Each structure stands twice: as structure tokens, then as C-alpha cells.
Structure 1
Amino acid sequence: MSVGERGGTPPAAAVAAFKPSRTVVAGSRREESIPPYVKAAAGSFGGIVEACCLQPIDVIKTRLQLDRTGQYRGILHCGTTVVRTEGVRALWKGLTPFATHLTLKYALRLGSNALLQSAFKDSDTGHLSQRGRVASGFGAGVLEALLIVTPFEVVKIRLQQQKGLSPELLKYKGPVHCARMIIREEGLFGLWAGAAPTVMRNGTNQAAMFTAKNAFDGILWKKHEGDGRVLQPWQSMISGFLAGTVGPICTGPFDVVKTRLMAQSKSGGDMKYKGMIHAIRTIYVEEGLLTLWKGLLPRLMRIPPGQAIMWAVADQITGLYERRHLKNHFI
């Protein structure tokens, strides 16, 4: 005689009752998680779209941060000067390493953050504390900085600081050639110039960004991970934009120092800065405190919109998974 024939619990419910991972206390539920590989895929697709849309702003930011003589009077002047003297295509200099690095970076960022969050979650309830969320974000930022961001940004910045489009006048002919030249002239670790400020910048950025994105989703839209609801793209864009504004303000000095250190070439003998602390002190003494936030406005023009674009894409992909696999796990 079956369970249903004895008048007891229906078969489906009986099976569910013996699944420990789904067991809940009355009036509560165990928080479900989206697998890291789903988040990694979502991040990579978001990175491709972001890179294609926002590369010109990144080029302008880099040129402003490298400008020691006051050649550019601001964002618009820098952009128009680049277009006038080098052509419109110059605004997409370094797009290949930028797009590749964003795709890999977001895949690693969202995937590693998901893995770290799983490690920090309560084993019984699946709840993630605020401290665990911050630590997961910082850890994800450190990993992406060391494994992906630093070498790709070194190549990108070396390409972006070159003026002109004539190949015969440029030292670096492309991203692969640039990487080979750096390794030949400066050694393998030349690709990790500026690693310390990059680690500090990315770790702090991601700790703030993941925490803020989760908070804004909850405050604005009452959305929580694994609840089966999917935000509209415009809702994801608002949350992502707001979450992306905090990091650049806090990490401006790290970003400026990172750019200056990465732009130095040992082969040229132009080693003005000996490290992160030395660079901060030198810039402060020679150029003033506000120089440590040089390029902040183009960063704010690039990062928050970039986060808005990335999360609009990523949330739709993770939302599809939630609708198909997690929605029915709640009572």
C-alpha cells in the first residue's frame, strides 16, 4: 500500500520531507544559492557588453591620469583632442585586451565570490552574514587583481598611452606584441607592475560593490537571491549603478598610483616611482593631494554605467536559472 493510499503525506511531499537540504523551520526557509558556474557565465556575458559600450571613457581616464603637463583641460577636451589628433578609432585603443580582461574578470569575480559566499554561509540555514558578504567580495577582488586585472591592464595602459595610429611609429603593435615586448624587456613580472595598488583597489571595490548591490536590491525591489523573482533590466541597472558609485571614490588614490606604476617601462629607464607608498608620497608632494583623485570623474562616468550594464545582463541570466531551478524550492 502506498503512502497516499494510507491517507498519509502525498508521495511528492513525502520525498521532499526526506531532503535535508530543503528542511525548514516553520515560518522560515533555507536560503538557496545560485551555482558559481552560473554566476561566472553571467558575469562574462555582461563584461563583453560593458567593454564595447564604455571603452572610450576608459581611454580618456587613462590619458588624464598620465597627463603630467596639463595637456588636457578636462574630459571633453581630452576626448576631442584625441579624436582630432589621432582619429575616432583611437578612443577604442586597447579594446581587445580590455574586452578580454573584462570577460575573464567578471567570470572570475562573480564565480569566486559565489564560492567564497558558500564557504561563509551558515551550514544549517544557508544565511550569509554581512561580514561574510564583505569578506567574500574582498577575496574575489584580490583574486581577480592578481590573476587577471594586473597583467591585462598593464598591456592596456601601455597601448593607450601611445599617441598616434601609424604602426611604424608605435612601439607596441598590438596586445600580444605588447605583452611579448614587456616580458622580453622587463621580465615576466613586468606584466604585474602595480600589483599592490591593484589588489587594494579591486579588493575594496568588490567588497563595497557586492555588499551595496545586495542591499540596493533588497531596499529598492525587495529582491533576495534565490527567491525565484527576476528583476527587470532597468531595476538591475539602477541597483548596479548605485552600487558602482562607492568604490571609485574610496579607491581613487590606488587607481592613480596603479596607472602610474603600470605605465613605467624599465627598458626606458623612466622608473620615477619605486612602489605604491613611494608613488603616493611623490605624487602628493609634487602635484598635490587632489592629484590622487585625478581621473575620478571619468571613472564615475565609466564604472557605475558599466556596473549597470553588466548587472542588467548578469541578472537576467541568473534570473533564468532561478525561475527554472530555485523558484519551487520555497514554501
Structure 2
Amino acid sequence: MAPYESSSSSSNPKEVFIPSYVKAISGSLGGLVEACCLQPIDVIKTRLQLDRSGYYKGIVDCGVKIVKDEGVRALWKGLTPFATHLTLKYTLRMGSNAVLQKHLRDPGTGELSNSARLISGFGAGVLEAIIIVTPFEVVKIRLQQQKGLAPELLRYKGPIHCAFSIVRDEGFLGLWAGAAPTVMRNGINQAAMFTAKSTFDRVLWKKYEGDGQTLQPWQSMISGFLAGCVGPVATGPFDVVKTRLMAQNRLAGSEVVKYNGMIHAIRTIYSEEGLLALWKGLLPRLMRIPPGQAIVWAVADQVIGLYEKRVLKQS
């Protein structure tokens, strides 16, 4: 979203510039809350995407089998890297999007066009994918694909051990396995999400950023939920390919690497498993991402709203 919305409407009589650091803080707090609430859905999504044998029959069956075979704690596997990753990701996403939008505004009118909003969102998604998302998700997926809880039976003992093991065995770039589909997924997701969130705020609640109006948490959750529904459908194949590439082990003498890159993975999955396999895990993504965006924006909008009210009160 933009630092401020330019509008001549009486519904937005006074504009307040919202610094990027305020956006960054609001995103980090929202990401922390989201991670704690939705980690089980992410574990189920990963297991479904990695399942080639049909062991899991669906979301509920997958969750039940994980609890039965590995215990309830297994649903929170990878929480530490997931929570850290989300906190850093939203900090970078919200802050960089605000900076990009500031520089893409019309210098004369201060207005932000729809194309500039899309470009800002895509740019924020690309930055977060390269800097934060890819290495953290590689570690998270490697941890989540391990079955069981007995430490002596697990290859990776924790997120730090996992990261060091990947670097030692596969090289530093092993932490960036699946970077290409991650960049495409996150870029498209954020372009759609920031544009949709701003649109829903204006259409549903007549809310313009910088107008001093703070949405109720339930209003932010509705806008965030709706905005979060578009990306998963559009980026399903990139997410499946990303997961498959990240889960591959490149150790000499281990299982032969099945996928040689994003395009090869898409072709292989399509030829061997069918078109719908490229959208495996879509339902748990829709169960996780839109509610996640609802949680993030419910927190973020309150933080931003407090800043708006404080600045308006002092001015």
C-alpha cells in the first residue's frame, strides 16, 4: 500500500505521509502473530506437495496421520525458521513496497497509478523472495519433510544445524534452491495483494490511507482475506515447483536429482502426474494464505492507524 492516498474527495480531507519504517514495524508484528497461528496448515501443505505415493488422502487425513504417526508437536515442525522468516519477510515486504511506491508516484500530483502499484508490489515480492524467503523456506521444507520426532532418527537436528548442513554438503547456493519459482510466486502474489487490499479498503470501507480513519480489526481482516485469495490460484504451479526443488538433496551418492530447474520441473510434474498436480496443496494454501493476510492486516492496520491518529492529532 502507498504511504498516502491522493484524493480530492471529501472522504479524505487530510493526507498523512506514513514512513516506510512504520509500515515495516506493522508488518513484522503481523507476521509473528500469523506464524504462531497458522504453522500446522503450512506443514500439511508441504507434506501434500511432497507426497508422490498418495499416502495422504487430503487435508484432514494428512493432519490426522501426522498427529497419529508423529505426535501433535509435528504440526509445528519448522516453527522457528517459519516465524523468523515471516517476521523478516513482512518487515521487508511492507517497507520496500512503501519505498517503491513513494518513488513511483507522479511527481506533479503525487498520485499512484494502478500499474505503479502493481510494479511496487511485484518489486517487493522479488526482493523478499531473494533476500529472505528462499533460504528460510529451504530450511523449513527440509525440516518439515522429515518424519518422526526422535532426534537420533532425524538428519537435521534443528534450523541452524539444517542450514549449516546444506551449506556444507551442497554449497552456499543450496540455500537458494528453487529461487526462480519463488521469485515468480512472491512477485505475482504481492503485486496482486497490495493492489487488491488498497482497492477493497476503498470500495468496502471508504478508507484512504492517511485520512486518520482506523479500520476495525474485523474490517481489516475481511479486506486482507479477500486480497489474499487471488495469489494462490495464480501462482499454484510456482509454489509446487518451488517446494519440489527445495526438497531435493544434492548430496553425492544420494537419490538422483529429479528436477533440473523450474521449467523442467513443470514439464516433468505435468507429464508424470497430470495438470492438476501443479496445483497440489492449493486448498491448504487457501486455508493458510487468506487467513494469514487477514491476521497480518488486522495487526498492521492498527499500528498504522495509531500513527495516523497521532500525527493528525499533533498537526
Amino acid at match of 2:302: Q
Match of 2:267 among 278, 281, 288: 281
User: What residue is the counterpart of 1:208 in the other structure?
Assistant: 192
Q: Structure 1, residues 182-210: CA drift from partner, whole Å, max 9, x if none?
A: 00000000000000000000000000000
On the 8 A contact 1:228/1:327 being kept in 2, the answer is no
Structure 1 residue 122: Cα displacement: 1.8
2:66 matched to 1:82?
yes
Amino acid at match of 2:214: V
How far apart in 2 are the matches of 1:326 and 1:138? 31
Structure 2 unaligned spans of 5+ = 1-6
Structure 1 residue 125: Cα displacement: 2.7
Match of 1:98 among 82, 103, 110: 82
User: What residue is the counterpart of 2:46 in the other structure?
Assistant: 62
- Distance change (3 Å), C-alpha of 1:228 and 1:164: same
Amino acid at match of 1:83: V
2:243 matched to 1:253?
no
User: What residue is the counterpart of 1:13 in the other structure?
Assistant: none
2:123 matched to 1:139?
yes
Q: Structure 1, residues 106-132: CA drift from partner, whole Å, max 9, x if none?
A: 000000000000001122332111111
Q: Which has the larger radius of gyration?
A: 1
Match of 2:299 among 313, 320, 327: 313
2:146 matched to 1:190?
no
User: What residue is the counterpart of 1:290 in the other structure?
Assistant: 276
Amino acid at match of 2:310: R
Runs of 4 or more off by more than 3 Å in structure 1? 24-32, 326-329
- SS of 1:266's equivalent in the other structure is coil
Under a length normalisation based on structure 2, what TM-score does the superposition of the two structures give? 0.94
Higher RCO structure, 1 or 2 (CA under 8 Å, sep 6+): 2
Structure 1 unaligned spans of 5+ = 1-23
Mean CA deviation greater in 193-202 or 260-269 = 260-269
Amino acid at match of 1:190: G
Match runs of 1:98-117 below 5 Å: 98-117=82-101
Under a length normalisation based on structure 1, what TM-score does the superposition of the two structures give? 0.90
- SS of 2:47's equivalent in the other structure is helix
The two structures, once aligned, show a CA RMSD in angstroms of: 1.6
2:290 matched to 1:304?
yes
2:142 matched to 1:153?
no
Structure 1 residue 25: Cα displacement: 8.9
- Distance change (3 Å), C-alpha of 1:173 and 1:122: same
How far apart in 1 are the matches of 2:312 and 2:131? 32
Match of 1:168 among 139, 152, 170: 152
- SS of 1:225's equivalent in the other structure is coil
How far apart in 2 are the matches of 1:30 and 1:99? 37
Structure 1 residue 325: Cα displacement: 1.0
Mean CA deviation greater in 29-38 or 224-233 = 29-38
How far apart in 2 are the matches of 1:217 and 1:29? 17
User: What residue is the counterpart of 2:4 in the other structure?
Assistant: none
On the 8 A contact 1:43/1:103 being kept in 2, the answer is yes
How many aligned positions are there? 306
How far apart in 2 are the matches of 1:44 and 1:284? 37
How far apart in 1 are the matches of 2:206 and 2:9? 22
- SS of 1:220's equivalent in the other structure is helix
Mean CA deviation greater in 167-176 or 264-273 = 264-273
How far apart in 2 are the matches of 1:209 and 1:32? 22
2:34 matched to 1:50?
yes
2:207 matched to 1:227?
no
Identity over aligned pairs, percent: 75
